[in-house]
Amino acid sequence: MSKSKTEQVKPNQSNLVTFLLIIIVVGLFFLLMDEYEKKPLQADVYIQAGHEGRLVGNTGSVSAYGREIDWTKIVADEATRILRNAGVRVIRAPADQKRESVVLLALSIHFDGAKKACSTGASIGLNNASDRNAARAWKRIYRTVFPFKWMPDNFSKNLKYYYNYRYTLASDAELVLELGEMSCPEQARWMKPRLKKLGALVAYFAAQRVGASGVEKPVF
C-alpha cells in the first residue's frame, strides 16, 4: 500500500518540475527578446516611409491621384535600393518601428495634403539647429527640379514635433522631407509619374551627406 503511494507521487512531482522548467525557459526567452528589442539599430542612413504599415490613426493624405501611404513606400524603397547598391547601410523603417536607430542621416518621407488645395508645397521638418546644414543642402537639390512653391521649415506642428524624432539619433541630421502637396492637382500630376525619380534624388542627397560615391543625380 505505502509502496504504491510513493510510486504515484513521483510522476506528479516530475510533471511539476517539467512545468516549472518550461515556465522559466519561456520567461527567459521573452526577457531576452525584450532586451534585444531595446538595443539600438545602427547604420549609415535611416529612411522611413511615412504612414507605412498603419491601418488606423494617421494613415496619411489621400487625393484623386493616389494615397500618400503608397507614394512614400515607392520613394523610400527606391532610395534604399540605390543606396544599398552603393554600399550604404540603410535602416528602412515603417511608420511605427519604435526602436532607437543610431545613424548619420535620418530621413522621413511624406507628401502633404491640404484642406485648401494648392495652399502648400514642399517643406522640411527638423528639430535641431544642427539639422539646418543638411536641410539647406536638400533644398538646394530639390529646388532645381521641383517647380512649385516651398513652405517655411517646420511650418506645421507635425513637422516641428514629428513623433519619430525621438527614435532617431543622427550625427548629421534628422529631417522630415515633405516632397510636395498631393492634394494640389498640378503638383500631384507632376509627382505621380516621378516617384521613383524622387527616390533616386533622395538617394543622391543621402549619399552626398554620408560621403558615399557612385550615386548619380537623376535627370528630371
Cβ closest to Zn ion, residue 9 vs residue 64: 64
92 near Zn ion, rule: CB under 5 A = no
Helix (H, G, I), strand (E, B) or coil at 8: helix
Residue 113: its H or E element: none
**DSSP classification of residue 166:** G
Lay out the site mask for Zn ion across 3-42 (x = CB under 5 A, - = otherwise). Answer: ----------------------------------------
Q: Sign (positive/negative) of CA torsion 51, 56, 60, 66?
A: positive
Judged by CB under 5 A, the stretch of 54-62, 88-96, 128-136, 180-188 that binds Zn ion is: 54-62
124: Cα separation from own chain's centroid: 15
Judged by CB under 5 A, the stretch of 12-20, 47-55, 74-82, 199-207 that binds Zn ion is: 47-55
Instruction: Determine which residue in the list 43, 46, 47, 60 makes contact with Zn ion, applying CB under 5 A.
Output: 60
**DSSP classification of residue 43:** -
Asked whether 105 and 46 are in contact (CB, 8 A), the reply is: yes
Cβ closest to Zn ion, residue 110 vs residue 194: 110
| Least distance (Å) between residue 188 CB and Zn ion | 14
Cβ closest to Zn ion, residue 114 vs residue 145: 114
Round to whole Å and give the CA distance between 44 and 80: 11
Asked whether 204 and 141 are in contact (CB, 8 A), the reply is: yes
110 near Zn ion, rule: CB under 5 A = yes
180 near Zn ion, rule: CB under 5 A = no
Residues that bind Zn ion (CB under 5 A): 50, 60, 110
